[in-house]
Amino acid sequence: MEMFSLNVARSFLGKNVNLHLKDGSVIVNVQLSEILKDDFKRENFVKCVPYGRRSAMTVPLKSIAWAELLNLNFLC
């Protein structure tokens, strides 16, 4: 399995995914909306919007292990 990088994050923009973090937790059913860059700390963040909500959260890119693509047709 390859490392979750900036290029992989770009391929998931606008799609609903489950984010599996390196500490073993899972953020379920979020849409990746934007990639943010902090120039002072030299870190990248992924802006995620939970399904059915308007508020967004940011997750550091280096804490994401991998992302699982969701098919919303199975959820409805």
- For range 7-11, the mean pLDDT: 93
pLDDT for 76 equals 52
Give the 3-state secondary structure of residue 15.
coil
> What backbone torsions phi and psi does residue 70 show, to the nearest 5 degrees?
-105, 145
pLDDT for 4 equals 86
CATH number for the region 6-69 comes to 2.30.30.100
- pLDDT digits 0-9 by tens, 15-55: 999 999 999 999 999 999 999 998 888 899 999 999 878 89
Distances (CA, A) of 54 to 2, 27, 59: 31, 16, 16
- Alpha-carbon distance of 56 to 39, in angstroms, equals 21
pLDDT for 75 equals 56
In the chain, where does DSSP find H-type helix? Answer: 6-11
